[in-house]
């Protein structure tokens, strides 16, 4: 991996960049010529593989470990991005966890962990992004179509994503005059390890058949939207983009 503190290329931080939608997004931004900071929670090997994929796609990349809910770690993450590549233009909040349970049965320690990663994590990263993203940049959060689909067993996850939507809309207005867009992408069911975990095939098949396009989303479907919001979509701001193949609430 190469680093250049004087580079004028666009620089993106992608949390949760070692796997799933985050990893596909990092690679997609690499294809657009970004320098990408692949941020991961614990699996360094996966993060280094993601770095190689970004570089093979044509971008530059480094891997940085950070707990997205820890403000000191996130500040250090932004420091590292600035030291390596000269600044930050795009922040993508793809880190998240999704334990499933009926509300009545959910252990509250699990609930607290979902809130900590999905909502507090987005808030902490957005706080640094609001202070440090350069003019012409973009902040892209991740909500979920579950805020509309209201599927049983997802109450904790959907609650955090509703909070992310509120943060997104308010931050877009707070950054008036900065030339920074703030939007959220709200995927429907997407073929990632997090989605498949613990689901029987019958349920997967039933969910895949729901949208008019009759399939699960693919990580690349979502990464294309993120790349659009990160670059050319300068007149889309303060919005939640539902990307679910036409699934209805």
The residue ranges of every structural domain in the chain are 11-240
CB-CB neighbours of 104 under 10 Å: 6
Q: Which residues of the chain are under the pLDDT cut of 50?
A: 1-2, 4-7
User: What per-residue confidence (pLDDT) applies to 249?
Assistant: 56
Of 34, 40, 154, 157, which is the active-site residue?
Answer: 157
The closest alpha carbon to 145, from 34, 228, 247, belongs to 247
pLDDT in tens, 180-235: 999 999 999 888 888 888 788 998 998 899 999 989 989 999 999 999 999 999 99
Q: For residue 195, what pLDDT is reported?
A: 85
Give every CB contact of residue 158 below 8 A, 6+ residues apart in sequence. 144, 146, 147, 150, 151
Q: What is the pLDDT of residue 88?
A: 98
Top CATH class, 11-240: alpha beta
Distance spanning both ends of the chain, measured CA to CA: 44
Has 34 been annotated as catalytic?
no
């Amino acid at each position: 991996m190469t680093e250049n503190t004087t580079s004028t290329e666009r620089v993106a931080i992608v949390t949760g960049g070692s796997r799933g939608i985050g990893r596909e997004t990092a690679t997609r931004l690499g294809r657009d010529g970004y320098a990408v900071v692949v941020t991961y929670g614990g699996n360094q090997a996966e993060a280094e593989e993601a770095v190689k994929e970004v570089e093979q796609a044509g971008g530059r990349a480094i891997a940085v470990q950070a707990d997205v809910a820890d403000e000191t770690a996130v500040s250090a993450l932004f420091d590292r991005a600035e030291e390596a590549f000269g600044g930050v233009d795009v922040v993508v909040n793809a880190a998240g966890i999704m334990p499933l349970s009926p509300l009545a049965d959910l252990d509250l320690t699990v609930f607290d962990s979902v809130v900590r990663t999905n909502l507090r994590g987005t808030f902490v990263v957005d706080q640094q992004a609001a202070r440090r993203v350069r003019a012409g940049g973009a902040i892209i959060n991740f909500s979920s179509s579950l805020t509309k689909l209201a599927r049983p067993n997802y109450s904790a996850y959907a609650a955090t994503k509703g909070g992310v939507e509120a943060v997104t809309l308010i931050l877009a207005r707070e950054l008036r005059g900065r030339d920074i867009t703030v939007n959220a992408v709200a995927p429907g069911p997407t073929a990632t390890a997090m989605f498949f975990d613990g689901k029987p095939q019958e349920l997967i098949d039933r969910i895949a058949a729901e949208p008019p396009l009759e399939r699960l989303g693919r990580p690349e479907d979502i990464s294309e939207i993120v790349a659009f919001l990160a670059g050319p979509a300068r007149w889309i701001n303060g919005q939640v983009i539902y990307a679910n193949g036409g699934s209805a609430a």
